[in-house]
Amino acid sequence: MSINPTKPTYAPGCEETCVHPQAVVQARATLPDDACVIQATHFLKLLGDPTRLKILSALSSTELCVCDLSAVVGLSESAVSHQLRLLRAGRLVAFRRAGRVVYYRLQDEHVTRLLQSALEHARE
């Protein structure tokens, strides 16, 4: 609860005056630090797009090149390349170059597992 309806009111110890101050203090204490939250949400955001999820799902069984992926997800190679760039920056995928062709694969098990979990949840 707040004295001013729009802004919460802070008691001298930087602890909020609210309906359940103790619960708030406790929750704030166990909350992961900002850097961690940012990183986690960045990761989840990368998974939370249909095109990227399809790309990752396709890569979960085998490595594929850009134009393969383009055919799989049904989008232009440019669009896929843009998404792969983001996935690379977020270290969700790795790649190797073979001549003109670049093969992408999932970076680690963690990605595979979270992918599975999310898809399972969706099927319920």
Interface size with a second copy, residues (CB under 8 A): 61
The 8-class DSSP code of residue 5 comes to S
What Rg, from alpha-carbon coordinates, does the chain have? 21
Q: Are 53 and 42 in contact (CB under 8 A)?
A: no
Q: Considering only CA atoms, which of 85, 80, 86, 53 is closest in space to residue 68?
A: 80
Answer for which of 56, 58, 59, 84 binds DNA (CB under 7 A) is: 84
Site membership for a second copy, residue 89 (CB under 8 A): no
Question: Is 1 among the residues that bind a second copy (CB under 8 A)?
Answer: yes
Whether residue 48 contacts residue 42, with contact meaning beta carbons closer than 8 Å, is answered with no
Binding site for a second copy (CB under 8 A): 1-2, 6-8, 16, 18-20, 23-24, 26-28, 30-32, 34, 36-50, 53-54, 57-58, 61-62, 64-65, 67-68, 70-72, 74, 76-78, 101, 110, 113-114, 117-119, 121-124
